[in-house]
Amino acid sequence: MGNMGWFSVGFRMICWLCFVVCVGGIGANWGTQTSHPIPPNTVVQMLKNNGFQKVKLFDADEGILNALKRSGLEVMVGIPNDMLAVLAASTKAAQNWVSKNVSEYINDGVNIRYVAVGNEPFLQTYNGSFLQTTFPALQNVQGALTKAGLNSQVKVTIPLNADVYESSSGRPSDGDFRSDIRDLMLAIVKFLSDNAAPFTVNIYPFISLYSDPNFPVDYAFFEGNSSPVIDGTTSYTNMFDANHDTLIWALKKNGYGNLPVIVGEIGWPTDGDMNANPQYAQRFNQGFMNHILMGQGTPMRPGPVDAYLFSLIDEDEKSIQPGNFERHWGIFTYDGLPKYQLNLGTTKTGGLVRALNVQYLDKKWCVLKPSVNLDDSRIAPSVSYACANADCTSLGYNTSCGNLDAQGNISYAFNSFYQKNDQDAVACDFSNLATITEKDPTTGTCRFEIMIVADSGMSWNLPRSPICSHTPCFMEINEYLLRCKRLNKMVTMRISFKIE
């Protein structure tokens, strides 16, 4: 290799190091799959009060982007998977999306730094649904950014699950991209490299523990108590480092060892599974923060780690198909309360700062009438309906409400539905099985929630109908209203995307 070759390599290395230093710091994923969102301005202030430097969004929500104006927070704005086909098929659609959801907001003071094209589109559980559209959408969005003169300021990326790479031996040095998508991944990686854009990966040790009962628990954490994975002269004592470096090896052996990497999602849930609890979540997230605050990085990629915690706030409308824990990833509860002590290294107190000025509904709850016989045939369908249309994921074995008796379980389900429907009296009927009380049923670790006042336009009410006092009628009317509500949210989301 000649002198110019050495100069070129050295220059690229300096550029990469500059990139890492410039984008260092901790960020948060801000999801919106919730029935009663905290007002965006309140969340933005909470992000700033907790010292977050950046935020990752899953869609171009108009209210959130407006709240981020002149906030100083770096923003990664997302494009949902269901929009990939449109953007892949039309350069004009991509240009319109960038104009309305990037250019306009940058001009108004939103510090957008990345566009995330899709979200884990190559998950094996998607059965290849987005294999044909993700890369063309990425190319068209990049072309739109270039045409808008933003290609040096805003970078494209694709948040990918760690299942896009693998190691046949379990050692990071044997890492390579998944065989069924290897050619596609290499094309994407080359495109990212050519456009000075980062590779974004989501790493979840919790999922490994959840999926494999034989997974060594200590290996998911950062104390170094686990039996190490030996890879040549390197010992890996935690899954994050090993998983991360499996990716770095996959990039390196294919000629892209210096490509910047962002950890797009990393975290631990607090409920909905025997291993999802505040103690483990605090242990993991604090261990991760300590790990990256030291600036040591991983064996294959020393230095600062660019990462976004998953997630900021619990989301009670997330799909629970992967597991009940899906609604409990937040480091804050649905109403902005810290779940546990977590030192991000960014606040004077060394702990999390709650959301300010959150407004609650009245202090009242919906519970099963004490006089009702637990063998009443109306109970089972009523509980099923309540849980199907609200959130009962805190009920179950070794969960926060796992120690409730039968009456407590029923009351929890009724109250969840009642609160989600803004404490409407009709939502606490259940064929005359339930009653409203002002005595808090909360017990031990099981919190019976009081819903917050929803952000404007997001709340809905049930009709007060004297003709609907029996269970089938009650359920039919409410199911209709819930469908209307979901349709309204879909319309609102489509308007906010502005792709026409």
Residue numbers annotated as active site: 120, 265
Alpha-carbon distance 355 to 28, whole Å? 15
Cβ neighbours around 489 below 10 Å, total? 17
Cα 430 to chain centroid distance, Å, stands at: 33
Strands (E), 134-211: 155-157, 159-161, 165-167, 175-177, 199-202
User: Residue 368: enclosing H or E segment and its boundaries?
Assistant: strand 365-368
Judged by DSSP in three states, 459 sits in coil
Q: Are strands 54-57 and 25-30 parallel, antiparallel or unpaired?
A: parallel
The answer to whether 126 and 161 have CB atoms below 8 angstroms apart is no
The answer to whether 404 and 446 have CB atoms below 8 angstroms apart is yes
The answer to whether 419 and 361 have CB atoms below 8 angstroms apart is yes
Of the candidates 190, 88, 86, 83, the residue with the CA atom closest to the CA atom of residue 135: 88
The answer to whether 335 and 452 have CB atoms below 8 angstroms apart is yes
Alpha-carbon distance 247 to 204, whole Å? 14
Q: Are strands 25-30 and 365-368 parallel, antiparallel or unpaired?
A: unpaired
Neighbour-count burial of 352, counting CB atoms closer than 10 A to its CB (0-12 exposed, 13-18 middle, 19+ buried): buried
Alpha-carbon distance 460 to 441, whole Å? 25
What tokens appear for 359 in the block? 């407004």
Of the candidates 74, 65, 190, 201, the residue with the CA atom closest to the CA atom of residue 138: 190
Cβ neighbours around 129 below 10 Å, total? 16
DSSP 29: E
CA torsion angle 154 140 261 312 (round to 10): 70
Using only C-alpha atoms, the chain has a radius of gyration, in whole angstroms, of 24
First to last CA, the chain: 51
Alpha-carbon distance 443 to 160, whole Å? 40
